[in-house]
Amino acid sequence: MSARSAIAVLAVLAVVGLLTFGLLSKGSSGIAVGEVAPASSLPRLEGGGNGSLADYRGRWVLVNFWASWCDPCVEEAPELEEFQQRHGDAGFTVLGIDSRDLSGDGRAFVRRFGLTYPQLRDGDGAFAHDFGTTGVPENYLVDPQGKVRLAVRGPVTGEYLEDVVAPLLSGGQS
């Protein structure tokens, strides 16, 4: 191969590599049921310090991605709080992830609805990206082993939580 051909091949490979890198870094496939949920460390929305989904290993966790500017999240929040009041204990918790939101707005949202379950802050949306979310709200039920058992792309209702999520918790299936 002549030097000129080698340079041309290298140039084409460089362009293809750059395009592939761009696609891979932007793309998001979405986590599937049965896969291990991401557990990055995130700052707490209130109180300072960091928290992670891994802190709740051994418990069922309903990971709820939300934002204060999202209207369906406004309807969903009271339902989640009610479910937390009814089922939240050593074996289960809702974990709120305030995603791509202003921290002040997020804290005001938590106060407005009197949310008592733990809240983490995902300002740049990186954690939501790891889950492959397409928007807010989205909910993922993670079992005590850290695997995703349910994925709901959209808001959940109290009825859904009681009919679908609660039996899994009480059945202790994992």
Of positions 88, 123, 144, 146, contacts other proteins by CB under 8 A: 123
153 lines the binding site for other proteins (CB under 8 A) = no
Cβ(30)–Cβ(131) below 8 Å: yes
Q: Which is nearer to other proteins, 44 or 86 (CB)?
A: 44
Residue in 83, 79, 74, 136 with CA at minimum distance from that of residue 108: 74
Which residue bears the tokens 């397409």?
134
Which residue bears the tokens 């290298």?
10
43 lines the binding site for other proteins (CB under 8 A) = no
Q: Is 14 helix (H, G, I), strand (E, B) or coil?
A: helix
Q: What are the residue numbers of the active site?
A: 73
Of positions 17, 124, 145, 172, contacts other proteins by CB under 8 A: 124
Tell which positions 102-121 bind other proteins, by CB under 8 A. Answer: 102-103, 105
Q: Which is nearer to other proteins, 52 or 103 (CB)?
A: 103
Q: Which is nearer to other proteins, 93 or 119 (CB)?
A: 119
% helix, strand, coil for the chain, step of 5? 45, 20, 35
CB of 3 to other proteins, least distance (A): 12
Cβ(80)–Cβ(156) below 8 Å: yes
Name the site residues for other proteins (rule: CB under 8 A).
67-71, 100-103, 105, 123-126
